[in-house]
Structure 1
Amino acid sequence: MNSLNVLSNSLTHPLKTYINRELSLLEFNKRVLAQAKDTEYPLLERLNFLIIFSRNLDEFFEIRIASLMQQIEFSNHAKTRPDDLLMSDIVTTISKLAHEAVEEQYKILNYNVLPQLQGHGIHFIQHGDILQKHKEWIKEYFYNEVQPVVTPISLDPAHPFPRLVNKSLNFIVTLEGKDAFGRKIDLAIVPAPRSLPSLVKLPKSISGEAEHYILLSAIIQQHIHELFSGVTTTGCYQFRVTRNADLTVSEDVEDLAIALKDELSSRRFGRAVRLEVNKNCPANITDYLLGQFDLDPEQLYRIDGPLNLVRFISNLNLPDLRFTPFIQKLPKALYNKKSIFDVLKNEDVLLHHPFHSFAPVIKLLKDAAHDPHVLAIKQTLYRSGADSEIVQVLAEAARNGKEVTAVIELRARFDEESNIEVANVLQEAGAVVVYGIVGYKTHAKMILIVRREMDKIKRYVHLGTGNYHATNAKIYTDYGLLTSDTDICEDVHKIFQELTGMGKMVKLKKLFHAPFTLHSQLIELIENEIINSKAGKKAQIIIKVNALTEPQLIDALYKASQAGVQIDLIVRSICCLRPQVKGLSENIRVRSIVGRYLEHTRVYYFYHQGDSKLYCGSADWMGRNLFSRIETCFPIEDKKLRKKILEDGLNNYLQDNRRAWELQADGTWTQCSPSLGQPVYIAQEHLLNHTF
């Protein structure tokens, strides 16, 4: 059911010109869920889409719903902006739609994906599926692997209800009788050990030729009575609580890393926002749990299957039921070249991940780490693990005597702990580590290499739309630019000075940067198209971002549409702009691509009287990116590269008639399909088959 129709039925005033961002994000997650039903995908990839949906929904509750609930607690009449809707109405609508989506998710799992996997000889054993031939092996596994680490907790005055970790799987057990101390205990809690795999493969001696995997939860339930000898277990039910996981760090702290470490522990035990239980859990038990977590009945989700679905596929490796591996390529400019520096002296190089390998970025850093002429390396790091090759190369460069500066954004959500570890590794190697600007997340993706050549200083730069994370570069679509352009390199140098030092806003020659010039420059570029259209000239805008929520930019696009500018928006997830509304936005089309790879590129194209302006950047068109983060937006000046991005990164996606979804005026999303006789066109597959 469409979220906006549900909401409009519950409100006393008409919907306005902005789509609510939380509802839009939920609609995106439903588009992800729809991929699990697509029979053109391999089976394990369809299962993976179900897991991605679970992971996305977890974060949706941890951050977005938690924030709404917090604001409602301060004021029952709190409204969201700019749609001016009551937050309580939004939460009620989301609850209805989320319940429907979760029910659909488990229908797909139980009646579609799992039966088809069984047809391929892959069986997942839940508690109700355990056969006699399984029991002896399960018993042995329980005694050897599970019982030594599991901790049953009886509930009595000496053992109050325990603090349970966010998203952990737990069991509530009903009991009868008295224990060894003569205590009459009715209830107990058993947390499932997180140190053990959630799926355990049965040996061939039991499973035969088929692949049989048993859930850890099934093993525990099968032998739950062994944990309570002397009393009778009358029931055992899984449950899982989701908590507020957002972090709040004061701007007055003396050491951001120490403050974050303190906050990270609180994330595990934040306020509860959702309770998931087995479908067969009795009402008296769910009522008890809701009371313990201070939740209302609409925050209860009855699940017909495994509650910890995010870990469901953690140790499966069945390539026949996966996407065919894709061999990443190198840009032609880098074929058989020993030194990237020599290439960049003569031309810019464009990287389009995952179709291009991420190896040139790592090679650039490796070459710099060992090149005796390189004096300094500066880099921003937003999401990079301590064991990543990039971090190890930076550490090696520092040990080699290079001046290495790393601007690490400790507050990258859910990567805070990893980033603290990265900072420690680099500091121990001798690198200078700074945490950016308090109050502004450093989201820009930049590498600056300073090299002495012929007694002069020469700079080289990498700018990107995505994180310096080699694994993400295989599954996210992103652009990266390698250049030695003097002005761009000087701009990047100035931004690094801004990040590590103090002073006035720096004036840049070619780059736009948030929170200073990016928003105003985007408005100006839109207004230029308006002027051209009103003068009877061709005017066109194509924007590709992950999210569009910023009201002033939305209003500018509405204004451009009314002036006759043709606008195409390719927005992966949240879009608060309402397209195709007569008199408001009839010249705006919005589409979303959901496919094998996560669309992550940010590209801004303006026709500009035929002398097109095309920019790539790290920023989505959201208020937080434009006003509360350090972001960069860089021009693509080489005509060949600009044409390449226009063709592959924009027009290619506008032709997609299979993985694309189009946003309608009423807020619904409709999946595209080829017209009668029209061939199927899938943008990502075109790029996979395209010779770069």
Structure 2
Amino acid sequence: MIDLNNPQYFLNREWSWLEFNNRVLYEACEEDKPLMERLKFASIVTRNLEEFFMVRVAAINKQNELETGGSSPDGLPPAEQLMGIMARVRDFYKKLYGEFDKKILPELLQAGVKILTDPADLVKYQDYLKHIFQNRIRKVLTPLSVGPTHPFPRLNSGRLYIAAGLKRGPEIPDSIELTDLSFVEVPASALGRFIKIEDEETYFPLECVIKMFVGELYHGYSVEWVSQIRITRDTDFNVDTDAASDLLMRIEEKIKTMHMRDVVKFEYEKGLPDTRLKELVERFDVVGDSIFQIDSLFDLGSLMEIYMSSSRNDLKEPQIKPVYPMEFQSRDIFEVIEEKDVLLYHPYQSYDPVVELIEKSAEDPDVLAIKLTLYRTSSRSAILKGLIKAAVNGKYVTILDELKARGDEERNISAARALEDAGAHVIYGIANLKTHTKALMIVRKERNGIRRYCHLATGNYNETTAKLYSDFSLFTCDEMIGEDISQLFNLLTGFSLPNKWNYVAVAPIDLREKFLSLIRRETENAKNRMNARIIAKLNTLLDKEIVQALYEASIAGVKISLIIRGGCALKPGLKGISENITIHSIIGRFLEHARIYYFYNGGDEDYFLSSADWMTRNLDRRVELLFPVKSKESRAIIGKVLDIQFSDTANTWILNSDGSYALRKDKKTRDSFKEIEEYIDKKEDKARREMEKKLEFKPIRNLEKGL
């Protein structure tokens, strides 16, 4: 009897995620990739790692401090996990900065793009930079010196500071407090991280310019040394939600105290005196061994600013032009959805129909109500404007605004207030649960009664990420699904449990059991010598019970094919356990964000889309939605996308049983991103030709013969 609780059958969650970030780093190292794209991926991996420290490292630090003796499913205690994380992060930084300093920067310079950090290079532009410093930068700088009446400052997480060692000059009077240590925040949020020469591709990091002229901030002192420093704090927080009416205020209070949370990572520049390094580490109470010396440009995440501002499109991938779906081009959107379900795959297909559906509903006199879940929205959101307009126009607008969406708390609070001011009813979710589902329902009065139009998605209502993430959108007015979504909103707004779901499953009510029952059905079919198949595409697979169910299915003979972009706890290819499981990871042009779940079901195939990954937090601590894809045409689209992605040989990594990944190689290169773009283009071209054919004028009879 195989004990599926054995830790040796599980990969470590944190180390698996770091493997994922290494696969993203590979994109920055690909020499045949356009230079600006490599710069972009260097930015992405840095931002990824920053969030990993803020959330995962912070959580494991807390576990370690509690000394509860607990361990992860793979059996590693927190202290051992932290040691492994730090060793891997040091290797990661070595590879990242080796690529950036020795390859990306020199190759950009050769291509005519200068990112100048060496003081010897900056001296050539001294007059220009001094003008910029005196007229723009200096005006927003505030030195924070340490002295008898100036306590050691609490520096903000993720911001760059110049630390300066000072020596008093003779002109400082005795009446002025003395200091030998001061900090200056680099005002990147106000001025941008880089100064760009107009009409040139020459960039100067703001901190390098400040360091050139930092002496001008400290008249009467000589500057003995300067060093950049940067701290990262624990930014994951729980909010006591016993008093739901105070939730918005409580989250605002939490945001205001972010600068007081634990320091989980400390970065400093070479040249910081050892005594000062020790003092800063003690003052900031840096947890563990998370101290890193950076001998290059700090915070490569800000390189995205250069990518976005650069006019060198010849150094970038050609921009995809999302195709506007033919179904919506010449007909009323409500008529189309009433006639059939429509499935879109973004960003290959335009996100505009989603925005237009909300905008049209805001103006349509027959629309009675709009209900929507808001998790992460974009700045200057057209969706938000449409919802505000609908409320102003007297529609019943109800918004579930998830204030606890990490990193978007302030933006969601702002959205909540704007919606409330317009007359919308805004609620903040269910206590102790994050609402992660993506659902829109429009209630419309029509000749035959009240009809519910639904939009269900795997991605957020965010027009910006809809251009960067691959996600599915399903438009439907299926009566039974509409009833389910209506019950979902009643649950969110009125805490009313559903009588029963017709087609959907919702976490944390029954989604876990739904997934397990679907997996176990395939297991039983395999035991009965029937064909059995599971295909899934998701972001992360970490839930222990799901992993065990998949092992049981594999042992029974179920063929399981998974595409998992990020972390994975399951070990494929274990003899007698997971030999029937293969796991691919696709990293490339777009962030693979869609969640697809397919079950063969004895030939009566089931296709589902979901907001949920196979993670414990998704199944037990969030409101998530699993919904079926019923139409033959929509299923064909999903099937084609999966076929293309499983055939990819240009962007695919294969997970080995030891947790390592191998880049898939083949004589014939197949790029799933390009093939899907071509597939969508051909599909829409075919639809256009069919529509044109329907619109052709065809005479009923030959008039000449009839005369």
TM-score, scaled relative to structure 2: 0.92
Residue of structure 2 in register with 1:41 after alignment: 33
Paired AA for residue 81 in structure 1? S
Residue of structure 2 in register with 1:666 after alignment: 658
Which secondary structure state, in structure 2, belongs to the residue aligned with residue 268 of structure 1?
helix
CA distance 1:280–1:614, change in 2 (3 Å): same
Q: Give the CA deviation at 1:430.
A: 0.8
Q: Are 1:169 and 1:238, in contact at CA under 8 Å, matched by a contact in 2? A: yes
Q: How does 1:325-336 map to 2 (within 5 A)?
A: 325-336=319-330
Aligned length: 668
Q: Are 2:378 and 2:463, in contact at CA under 8 Å, matched by a contact in 1? A: no
Paired with 2:296 and 2:123, the residues of 1 have a C-alpha distance of 21
Paired with 1:577 and 1:81, the residues of 2 have a C-alpha distance of 13
Computed over aligned residues only, the root mean square deviation of the Cα atoms, in angstroms, reads 1.6
Paired AA for residue 343 in structure 2? L
Quick check: 1:137 aligned with 2:111? no
Which secondary structure state, in structure 2, belongs to the residue aligned with residue 633 of structure 1?
strand
Q: Are 2:384 and 2:415, in contact at CA under 8 Å, matched by a contact in 1? A: yes
Q: Give the CA deviation at 1:505.
A: 4.2
Q: Give the CA deviation at 1:532.
A: 1.3
**Which runs of 5 or more residues in structure 2 are unaligned?**
1-5, 684-707
Q: Give the CA deviation at 1:126.
A: 1.0
Paired AA for residue 25 in structure 2? L
Residue of structure 2 in register with 1:389 after alignment: 382
Residue of structure 2 in register with 1:324 after alignment: 318
Paired with 1:593 and 1:308, the residues of 2 have a C-alpha distance of 26
Paired AA for residue 72 in structure 2? R
Paired with 2:198 and 2:369, the residues of 1 have a C-alpha distance of 54
Quick check: 1:348 aligned with 2:341? yes
Q: 2:490 aligns with which of 468, 489, 497?
A: 497
Quick check: 1:187 aligned with 2:205? no
Paired AA for residue 422 in structure 2? A
Quick check: 1:651 aligned with 2:646? no
Which secondary structure state, in structure 2, belongs to the residue aligned with residue 477 of structure 1?
strand
Residue of structure 1 in register with 2:255 after alignment: 264
Q: Give the CA deviation at 1:261.
A: 0.5
Residue of structure 2 in register with 1:572 after alignment: 565
Paired with 2:409 and 2:426, the residues of 1 have a C-alpha distance of 15
Q: 1:199 aligns with which of 172, 194, 197?
A: 194
Residue of structure 2 in register with 1:242 after alignment: 232
Q: Give the CA deviation at 1:132.
A: 3.9
Paired with 2:404 and 2:446, the residues of 1 have a C-alpha distance of 37
CA distance 1:187–1:297, change in 2 (3 Å): farther
Which secondary structure state, in structure 2, belongs to the residue aligned with residue 298 of structure 1?
coil
Residue of structure 1 in register with 2:695 after alignment: none
Residue of structure 1 in register with 2:49 after alignment: 57
Deviation >4 Å, runs of 4+:
none
Q: Are 2:571 and 2:657, in contact at CA under 8 Å, matched by a contact in 1? A: yes
Paired AA for residue 457 in structure 2? G
Quick check: 1:81 aligned with 2:72? yes
Paired with 1:15 and 1:96, the residues of 2 have a C-alpha distance of 22
Q: Are 1:445 and 1:466, in contact at CA under 8 Å, matched by a contact in 2? A: yes
Paired with 2:186 and 2:121, the residues of 1 have a C-alpha distance of 19
Q: 2:465 aligns with which of 468, 472, 491?
A: 472
Q: Deviation per CA, 1:209-243, whole angstroms, max 9, x where unpaired?
A: x6221111111110111111222112110010010
Q: How does 1:124-523 map to 2 (within 5 A)?
A: 124-178=115-169, 180-182=172-174, 184-194=178-188, 195-203=190-198, 211-253=201-243, 254-295=245-286, 298-315=289-306, 316-318=309-311, 319-337=313-331, 339-385=332-378, 387-523=380-516
CA distance 1:406–1:282, change in 2 (3 Å): same
Q: 1:689 aligns with which of 675, 678, 694?
A: 678
Q: Deviation per CA, 1:487-528, whole angstroms, max 9, x where unpaired?
A: 001110111111111333441101111111211111111111
Paired with 2:455 and 2:668, the residues of 1 have a C-alpha distance of 38
Paired AA for residue 141 in structure 2? V
Q: Are 1:200 and 1:213, in contact at CA under 8 Å, matched by a contact in 2? A: yes
CA distance 1:574–1:132, change in 2 (3 Å): closer
Percent of aligned pairs with the same amino acid: 37
Paired with 2:533 and 2:558, the residues of 1 have a C-alpha distance of 6
TM-score, scaled relative to structure 1: 0.94
Q: Deviation per CA, 1:620-644, whole angstroms, max 9, x where unpaired?
A: 1111111111111111111221122
Paired with 2:391 and 2:122, the residues of 1 have a C-alpha distance of 59
Which secondary structure state, in structure 1, belongs to the residue aligned with residue 223 of structure 2?
strand
Q: Are 2:373 and 2:438, in contact at CA under 8 Å, matched by a contact in 1? A: yes
Paired with 2:454 and 2:161, the residues of 1 have a C-alpha distance of 49
Paired with 1:596 and 1:411, the residues of 2 have a C-alpha distance of 29
Residue of structure 2 in register with 1:680 after alignment: 669
Paired with 1:643 and 1:504, the residues of 2 have a C-alpha distance of 34
Deviating more after overlay: 603-612 vs 181-190: 181-190
Quick check: 1:111 aligned with 2:102? yes
Q: Give the CA deviation at 1:552.
A: 0.9
Q: Deviation per CA, 1:124-157, whole angstroms, max 9, x where unpaired?
A: 1114243543111111111111222111222222
Paired with 1:261 and 1:511, the residues of 2 have a C-alpha distance of 34
Q: Give the CA deviation at 1:433.
A: 0.8
Deviating more after overlay: 149-158 vs 161-170: 149-158
Which secondary structure state, in structure 1, belongs to the residue aligned with residue 583 of structure 2?
strand
Paired with 1:478 and 1:389, the residues of 2 have a C-alpha distance of 19
Q: Give the CA deviation at 1:483.
A: 0.5
Q: Give the CA deviation at 1:177.
A: 2.8
Which secondary structure state, in structure 2, belongs to the residue aligned with residue 16 of structure 1?
helix
CA distance 1:140–1:481, change in 2 (3 Å): same
Q: Deviation per CA, 1:14-44, whole angstroms, max 9, x where unpaired?
A: 9611111111111111111111001232111
Paired AA for residue 424 in structure 2? A
Paired with 1:301 and 1:217, the residues of 2 have a C-alpha distance of 18
Which secondary structure state, in structure 1, belongs to the residue aligned with residue 339 of structure 2?
coil
Residue of structure 1 in register with 2:616 after alignment: 623
Q: Give the CA deviation at 1:478.
A: 0.4
Q: 2:600 aligns with which of 589, 598, 607?
A: 607
**Which runs of 5 or more residues in structure 1 are unaligned?**
1-13, 205-209
Q: Are 2:434 and 2:621, in contact at CA under 8 Å, matched by a contact in 1? A: yes
CA distance 1:269–1:296, change in 2 (3 Å): closer
Paired with 1:251 and 1:490, the residues of 2 have a C-alpha distance of 29
Residue of structure 2 in register with 1:8 after alignment: none
Q: Give the CA deviation at 1:174.
A: 1.6
Paired with 1:442 and 1:361, the residues of 2 have a C-alpha distance of 20
Q: Give the CA deviation at 1:485.
A: 0.6
CA distance 1:313–1:476, change in 2 (3 Å): closer
